[in-house]
Amino acid sequence: MDASAILAALERIVPGSGADALASVDQPTILVPAERLPAVCGALRDGPALRFTALLDIVGVDAWPGEPRFEVNYSLVAVDVPARLRVKVRVGGEPPRVPSVVGIWPSAGFLEREVWDLFGVVFDGHTDLRRLLTAEDWEGHPLRKDYPVQVDTPVRFEAPTQVTEEQFRETMNQDRRLRGERR
């Protein structure tokens, strides 16, 4: 199923969806306006000719200094066909906002939290949007291209990490114990 067939089936279910096909080398890809995302995703999941029942991943992209700055990519699978689809949404603003798809694919819960944590994209309607990968008191969103790198110690490549023979042996013994091996 190519992008044009998906768009034709989608247009029958959600007239005026605003979705467009994008060129891609690996799988059909469509661009959807943020405000139409829930309607389009619901149709992609429930449409008899579509049946994209599995959400595999949600990935954020920072296009800084471009505008709109952020892109949110959804990887979908129609298990019955089988077929894959990438749905892209481009958003700007501060903070950037996209409607949540947790009501369509419950598996989006952690994926949306990850994108929010790392990029600062707010998913409107998500009921538990909090830090997932960074500490609760973390400031900012570390995968933004303008995020300040805060390294106090210069990186040294000239000297390998040094441990004593006793430290090395203890580490190896602990590892063996965890795996249930004997010495």
Instruction: Give tens-digit pLDDT for 104-141.
Output: 999 999 999 999 999 999 999 999 999 999 998 888 99
Distance between CA 132 and CA 10 in Å, rounded? Answer: 33
180 occurs within a structural domain: no
Asked whether the beta carbons of 116 and 125 are under 8 A apart, the reply is no
Torsion of CA 45, 110, 32, 20, to 10 degrees: -70
**Can you give the CATH number for the domain in which 8 is found?**
3.30.460.80
Q: What is the pTM of this model?
A: 0.80
| Residue span of the structural domain in which 124 resides | 3-147
Q: Token pair 């029942």 is at which residue? A: 53
32 occurs within a structural domain: yes
Q: In terms of Cα–Cα distance, which of 50, 62, 34 is closest to 144? A: 62
Residue pLDDT, tens place only, 52-95 = 999 999 999 999 999 999 999 999 999 988 899 999 999 999 99
Total count of domains within the chain:
1
